[in-house]
């Protein structure tokens, strides 16, 4: 279970899935999956992965993707109607949920965006 603001979490996943559909369209499919992985402190980390099989992103762009208004190919992104704010919002929402964003991409093979959250602690019984 992820503890957080429902509307913000919906907006986060909406942004990642919209990007995968928009920029990864040539790959023909998008995979969304959820896993729980052990974290270093013994708790579990919840990971929501959005993967596409489009053109991917060159490594030099990866560190800057979450900057406001940053777009890899301005002409192309503009024709796709983007403002370059989606991923900065994603990062902001993750920060507010004590989470982090991992981005992996092999150019020409696709891109994977992974939203990682600390597992919600069970509510105390009393
Ligand atoms: N799945 C993806 N595959 C390839 N490039 C991507 C992918 N997701 C994002 N990008 C690149 O990262 C840039 C920033 O993405 P971001 O979501 O912040 O902005 P946007 O999609 O252009 O606009 P907005 O989300 O505000 O409508 C995009 O313009 C695009 O160049
Ligand atoms: Mg976007």
Beta carbon of 118 within 6 Å of any ligand 1 atom: no
- The model's pTM is 0.92
- Closest ligand to residue 18's CA: 2
Structure-token pair, residue 21: 């559909």
Ligand 1 atom 23 nearest Cα: 82
Beta carbon of 111 within 6 Å of any ligand 1 atom: yes
Burial status of residue 2 (CB atoms within 10 A of its CB: 0-12, 13-18, 19 or more)? middle
d(CA 23, CA 20): 6
Residue 103, strand partner residues: 113
d(CA 74, CA 11): 23
Beta carbon of 54 within 6 Å of any ligand 1 atom: yes
**Per-domain residue ranges for the chain?**
6-56+68-118
CATH topology classification for 6-56+68-118: Heat Shock Protein 90 (3.30.565)
Beta carbon of 19 within 6 Å of any ligand 1 atom: yes
pLDDT, one tens digit per residue, over 4-23 is 999 999 999 999 999 999 99
Q: Among 49, 52, 60, which residue's Cα sits nearest to residue 23?
A: 52
Distance from Cα 123 to the centre of ligand 1, integer Å: 37
pLDDT, one tens digit per residue, over 30-89 is 999 999 988 888 889 999 999 999 999 999 999 999 999 999 976 665 567 788 999 999
Task: Phi first, then psi: give them for residue 12, nearest 5 degrees.
Answer: -60, -50
């Amino acid at each position: 279970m992820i503890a957080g603001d429902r509307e913000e979490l919906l907006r986060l996943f909406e942004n990642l899935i919209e990007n995968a559909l928009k920029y990864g369209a040539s790959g023909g499919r998008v995979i969304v999956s959820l896993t729980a992985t052990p974290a270093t402190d013994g708790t579990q980390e919840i990971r929501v992965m959005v993967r596409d099989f489009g053109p991917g992103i060159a490594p030099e762009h990866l560190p800057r993707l979450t900057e406001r208004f940053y777009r890899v190919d301005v002409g192309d992104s503009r024709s796709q109607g983007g403002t370059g704010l989606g991923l900065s919002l994603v990062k902001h929402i993750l920060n507010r949920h004590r989470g982090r964003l991992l981005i992996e991409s092999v150019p020409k093979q696709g891109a994977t965006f992974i939203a990682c959250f600390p597992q919600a602690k069970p509510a105390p019984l009393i």
